[in-house]
Amino acid sequence: MPLVNSQVPKHEQLRSIILRLAKDDLMPGERLPSERTLMEDFGVSRITVRAAIGRLVAEGHLIRVAGKGTFVADATVQSTLHLASFTQEMEAQGLTPSTVVLVAERTTAPPESVRALGLAAGAEAIHLRRLRLADGRPVSVDDAWYNAEHAGGLLEIDLSGSVYAALATRFGCQIDRARQTVRAEGAPADVGVLLGTGTGAPVLVFDRTSSSGERAIEHTRSWYRSDRYALGMEVRL
């Protein structure tokens, strides 16, 4: 059905139509009709179609895949800036968290983690690298170092669940504060493989030092898929 003549630009009208199609008729991961089909169905130019789709891609509703087409994006996990484990965060949103443990070892900590944890140069720490999933879909890769003096028994427990819960119940280290920075960067090659994004895809990178009282317990870097994870916050005067 051709678009109507109105004060609303055609690309905005088409954007609204495609958004309803993506939300109401298609499932995440399903392919959008081709540009030619949209041109013929709505009587618009290729420029109009590309403008509408480009806006929806920028907003995170659609994903373009070179040589394959445009697809409905996965629903994002809407997070707020607060102190919670990945497990708690996913469960709070009705999602089922799961974990693949990639590395679990006691070894020499890298310089940035030595500084963050207040360790002596060359000191050992507990190193965990894990792939985190929600409803079976990769969301993040976490690379964490733990102060072995306070969490030395981590390697003896099941690491597929909440480490924060284990720190509190088993080791008496309730995480109660953290310092964190967030930035955007292109996914490193190994992270891109694990998250299924490919090298260089936009990801959110968290650098976080978590403490129990005055004791620095954890230093972690996490890479989150930006199409599956979003940060929200409330700002007041």
CA angle 207, 226, 139 (to 5 degrees): 75
**Percentage of the chain exceeding pLDDT 90:** 46
Fold match flag (10-72 vs 77-232): no
Structure confidence at residue 122 (pLDDT): 92
Residue ranges of the domains in the chain? 10-72, 77-232
CATH topology of domain 10-72: Arc Repressor Mutant, subunit A (1.10.10)
The DSSP secondary structure of 127-196, one letter per residue, reads EEEEEEEETTEEEEEEEEEE-HHHHGGGGGS--SS-HHHHHHHHHS----EEEEEEEEEEPPHHHHHHHT
Give the pLDDT of residue 23: 79
Residue with the bigger pLDDT between 144 and 29: it is 144
**Euclidean distance between CA atoms 191 and 113, whole angstroms:** 19
Distance CA(68)–CA(84), nearest Å, equals 38
Has residue 226 got a pLDDT over 90?
no
Tokens linked to 224: 């989150």
What is the per-residue pLDDT for 4? Answer: 60
What's this model's pTM, rounded to 2 decimal places?
Answer: 0.68
Tell whether the model's pLDDT for residue 82 goes beyond 80. Answer: no
Q: What pLDDT shows up at residue 234?
A: 65
Two tokens, residue 177: 């504060």
Q: Is a pLDDT exceeding 80 seen at residue 224? A: yes
Burial state string for 57-92 with b = 16 or more CB within 10 A and e = fewer than 16: eeeebbbeeeeeebbbbbbbbebeeeeebbbebbee
Query: With respect to CATH, is domain 77-232 assigned 3.40.1410.10?
Result: yes
Query: Which pLDDT band holds residue 219 (cuts at 50, 70, 90)?
Result: very high
pLDDT tens per residue across span 101-153: 999 999 999 999 999 999 999 999 999 999 998 888 888 999 999 999 998 89
